[in-house]
Structure 1
Amino acid sequence: MQQNDFKSSSKGIQMLVDIRRYTIVPGMLKAYLEVYERHGLPVQRRHVGDPLGYFISEVGELNQVVHLWGYEDAADRQQRRAQMERVLICTES
Structure 2
Amino acid sequence: MITNRISIGQTVSQIKGNIVSDMGGEKVMLSVKNGKYYNLGGIGGDIWDLIEEKKSVNQLVSTLLTDYEVDQSECEKQVISFLELLLNEGLIEISDN
Could you say whether these structures have the same fold, taking a TM-score greater than 0.5 normalized by the shorter chain as the test? no
* Bigger Cα Rg: 1
Q: TM-score, normalising length from structure 2?
A: 0.30
Q: TM-score, normalising length from structure 1?
A: 0.31
